[in-house]
Structure 1
Amino acid sequence: MAPASYYLSHKVMIIIGAFGLSLTYLLAWCGQSLVAMQTMQVMYGFATSSRLVFSSYIFLLVLEEDYQIMTSLTQTVSLLSFVLASELGQLLALTDSSYEIYFIISLVALIVCCASTFLLPADSSSCSLSYLNRLGNPSKGWTATLKETWGGKSLKILSVWWALAFAGVSLVQNYGTTLFDAIDSHSKFNGHILAISEAGGSLGSYCAIYIDKFSYRSRQFIYVLGSSFMGIICVLMGVYTKIWGAYLSYVVICTIYRTFSCLVSVQCGRLLSNGQFILLFSVNNFAGLLIETLLQAAVEVVGLSIYSQFIAFSGLFFVATAIFITFSCIDCRGDESNKYVLTETGPEGILTADT
């Protein structure tokens, strides 16, 4: 998606992604062969990846001071739409509606989505020309671009947190209903809890607008707090075998993650020096998916119980916490060293340090 967005523009890729998602539903509805289903899976992967293009597209359109507001509002609306769709699906299920009704409603919504993409403003990236020139020499161009994109230490640390937290919460969501069934296979509230978790996430995404200034001042501390809380909650889901406790833990961990995902994507965007937002988003999410896949394969091979799996998942959050604590200590030592140098060198040293 990164090079395609610069060759064809972000808007074009969003349009193609919307039509790809419509084609996915048409194949799922009308396809009758294995090849059709396999094609549908490929189209779905392509279409969902265009969401990353939309996230970076927003950063190209607005001023830096509006990054947090626009990111939070778009994610809030997206999650609320998921809540409405989930509850509508629950209502249709109670009335024994056919699958055709689900597909018709989905296709109507997607047709509106496809039409609205043409109304989006055109994007223009000031660095796209230099980016394409670098790709004239693929090996040198990609290497130089990647080094330039992740040039700062803070951006690298935040990207690691992004990938680990993404992987951890994705695993929690993938195995959440399995945990619910293991605790109480007769519960009829699983679908509602999934919807409530997204509603909590939408609230957290909106609250990120007001937490943004605090997160900027606190530096790494707020991420240490967030990842440690998610790790503790994940452990509780593995040891506390009461259905309502599992429900509450699931909602809380999803809410915390959605809040922090808004914060970390904006902070990464602000630290980016070359404007390669789509490259940043793509690589960080790919890293998260890779970690998720490897851990999921590991727990399946080992044959852990569903409860032990959640304890294993908590390790991702605790690793992220440990990384941030380590770098926070290093930063603190660096600050103390700078203070010592300033004291010894006097006013001239202060001028040099600030510069």
Structure 2
Amino acid sequence: MEAVRRWRSDWRYPTTLLCVYGFFSTVKPLEPFLIPFLTGPDKNLTTEQVNNQIFPVWTYSYLCVLVPVFLLTDWLRYKPVVVFQCVTLFITTAMLLWTDSVPAMQAMQCFYGMVTASEVAYFSYIYSVIDLKRYRKATSYSRSVQLLGYTVGSVLGQLLVSFNLMSYNNILVFTMVLTAIALLASCLLPMPQQSMFFHRIHTGQKTVTEGTKRHANETVGRGDEKGEKGGETQDDTGNGQEEKGPKAEDIEEAVGAESCCGVLLRLWKDFLQCYSSRKLLYWSVWWAMATCGYNQTVNYVQVLWEHVQPSQNFSIYNGGVEAVSNLLSAATAYGIGFTEVKWELWGELALGGFSGLGAAALFLMTFIGNIWVCYTGYILFKCLYMLLITIAMYQIAADLSMERYALVFGANNFGALTLQTIITSVVVDSGGLGLAIIPQFTIYASYFSVIAVLFSLRGLFTIWRARRSNEESPPSENDESGSDGHRF
């Protein structure tokens, strides 16, 4: 029993394995050069086929599997879905290497949709196997190592392409080797004993999470130490009174105790309770709208670069640009933690103002027609989005428990993907308007302009209402609606 307790308290083991997996699964040297690869002599596809027939499939696939994967992740307890993500990533890379027809590339995009939908398992796994006090460090490590993987992949791809050290096909073989290392790490991950909804811990009539169980174990352990020092029994606290809260030996695990219908009903109740907050609803609306526009921009920006400056006539620097944008985005997001701003008061105005700057960057990328302006505009746009999404995550998470944190973030991403599917089917897909890349980016820039106007007006209204409340209420009579900026 002591060995089991020591194993569970050793948070470095699963965290290290997850970080190894996160790093090797995100080192993708070819990703910044995917359009030149697909439209070049290796695959010999046209830009229109890639833009209007192949890339839209990823959006549809992602939307179709997102909710089932979210539920399966919880039901299967994370690790199997992490392994599944790596397997589908390997299949995606293999199809990219060995197939070249449009239907085959569309099937490859279907598998890649499964890969991206399965990321929920990567970001949820660590919370089920470590103690609450380790959450911040583990989250920081797992997210940072992913960003490091993307950066290393971009830099490596730029070096390999610029110095002709490897062909595109050899780069894909190298990527498959890295994915195999990630697959080995995922198989070594310890299996969690609980999950968010399907596998919970029951004590009497109350339901608690595994984190609560671990906390109870720690509390009992501390009580034991106090009992030894004070000559009291293990059932007593340091004050000689009966210990409150669940005892470790009274907590028993109930795997799959609830039916699927019961879980879905509880999900729905939690969903309604979360979004009953108007402030949270506004931030979530921005999250969904902005993430939709960001995903569309990132997915098709290489097509724009290829249009502005064909890779056959120019030494492209897509990998270097992606590396710089990732590093600057990380620095921007990290700096938010040291910025003393009342985001609950000024946040909505910041959402509008910075979204407007992002729209301006997109307009410059679209109409200037210079590759260096496109590169600079993309870096600026990505940094602004990462800045704002960090603020939004913090503001939303401030009022949520861990369970609702996952639920709301997943719902916001689902809303973003739904909007993205609508835009893709109408604007991009050859079955819809099938617009060329310049009209597409004109629409994306205009879309962010609408976001900027809406949230700038909302931000100004929030500030005006707060100041009016300050003027009308004496300092000693601040109510919950918040002249001090807590809640409106």
Listed one character per residue, the Cα deviations across residues 141-182 of structure 1 (whole Å, up to 9, x for unaligned) are 453232123232222222211122212222222332332233
Give the Cα separation in 1 of the matches to 2:257 and 2:96. Answer: 37
- SS of residue matched to 1:188: coil
Partner of 1:219: 347
Task: Summarize the alignment of residues 81-92 of structure 1 with structure 2, pairs less than 5 Å apart.
Answer: 81-92=149-160
The partner residue of 2:182 within 98, 113, 125 is 113
- 2:112 partner letter: Y
Structure 2 CA distance for partners of 1:313 and 1:36, relative to 1, 3 Å? closer
- SS of residue matched to 1:219: helix
Q: What's the offset of the Cα at 1:37?
A: 6.2
Q: What's the offset of the Cα at 1:313?
A: 0.8
Partner of 1:261: 389
The partner residue of 2:315 within 188, 208, 213 is 188
Listed one character per residue, the Cα deviations across residues 177-227 of structure 1 (whole Å, up to 9, x for unaligned) are 332233333332242333433333333343344348664674323323321
Task: Summarize the alignment of residues 26-105 of structure 1 with structure 2, pairs less than 5 Å apart.
Answer: 26-29=94-97, 40-57=108-125, 67=136, 74-93=142-161, 94-95=163-164, 97-98=166-167, 101-105=170-174
Runs of 5+ unmatched residues, structure 2: 1-68, 201-206, 208-255
Q: What's the offset of the Cα at 1:82?
A: 1.9
Runs of 5+ unmatched residues, structure 1: none
Structure 2 CA distance for partners of 1:74 and 1:210, relative to 1, 3 Å? farther
Query: Identity over the aligned pairs, expressed in percent?
Result: 21
Listed one character per residue, the Cα deviations across residues 242-292 of structure 1 (whole Å, up to 9, x for unaligned) are 222122111111122223333323432333246134432332222222222
1:327 correspondence with 2:397? no
Aligned length: 351
Structure (1/2) with the larger helix percentage: 1
1:243 correspondence with 2:371? yes
Whether the aligned pair in 2 keeps the contact of 1:14 and 1:53 (CA below 8 Å) is: yes
Partner of 2:192: 122
Structure 2 CA distance for partners of 1:24 and 1:351, relative to 1, 3 Å? closer
Give the Cα separation in 2 of the matches to 1:189 and 1:56. Answer: 37
1:14 correspondence with 2:82? yes
- 1:188 partner letter: S
Whether the aligned pair in 2 keeps the contact of 1:72 and 1:209 (CA below 8 Å) is: no
Q: What's the offset of the Cα at 1:303?
A: 6.2
Partner of 2:441: 310
Q: What's the offset of the Cα at 1:49?
A: 1.5
- 2:381 partner letter: I
Partner of 1:154: 279
Give the Cα separation in 2 of the matches to 1:221 and 1:62. Answer: 37
Give the Cα separation in 2 of the matches to 1:235 and 1:179. Answer: 12
Partner of 2:299: 174
Which sits farther off after the overlay, 199-208 or 330-339? 330-339
Q: TM-score with structure 1 length normalisation?
A: 0.79
Q: TM-score with structure 2 length normalisation?
A: 0.60
Q: What's the offset of the Cα at 1:46?
A: 1.7
Give the Cα separation in 2 of the matches to 1:253 and 1:51. Answer: 23
Give the Cα separation in 1 of the matches to 2:135 and 2:340. Answer: 11
Which sits farther off after the overlay, 153-162 or 78-87? 78-87
Report the RMSD for the aligned CA atoms in angstroms: 3.9
Give the Cα separation in 2 of the matches to 1:17 and 1:74. Answer: 16
- 1:149 partner letter: C
1:144 correspondence with 2:269? yes
1:204 correspondence with 2:272? no
Whether the aligned pair in 2 keeps the contact of 1:150 and 1:272 (CA below 8 Å) is: no
Which sits farther off after the overlay, 299-308 or 49-58? 299-308
Structure 2 CA distance for partners of 1:4 and 1:258, relative to 1, 3 Å? same
Partner of 2:415: 287
Give the Cα separation in 1 of the matches to 2:126 and 2:341. Answer: 20
- 2:192 partner letter: A
Q: What's the offset of the Cα at 1:351?
A: 6.7
Which sits farther off after the overlay, 55-64 or 15-24? 55-64
Which sits farther off after the overlay, 116-125 or 278-287? 116-125
- 2:149 partner letter: S
Which sits farther off after the overlay, 160-169 or 149-158? 149-158
Give the Cα separation in 2 of the matches to 1:63 and 1:52. Answer: 19
Give the Cα separation in 1 of the matches to 2:404 and 2:295. Answer: 25
Determine which structure has more spread, i.e. the larger CA radius of gyration: 2
Give the Cα separation in 1 of the matches to 2:193 and 2:449. Answer: 39
Give the Cα separation in 2 of the matches to 1:21 and 1:212. Answer: 41
Structure 2 CA distance for partners of 1:43 and 1:237, relative to 1, 3 Å? closer
Whether the aligned pair in 2 keeps the contact of 1:165 and 1:316 (CA below 8 Å) is: no
Whether the aligned pair in 1 keeps the contact of 2:346 and 2:463 (CA below 8 Å) is: no
Q: Which has the higher contact order (CA 8 A, sep 6+)?
A: 1
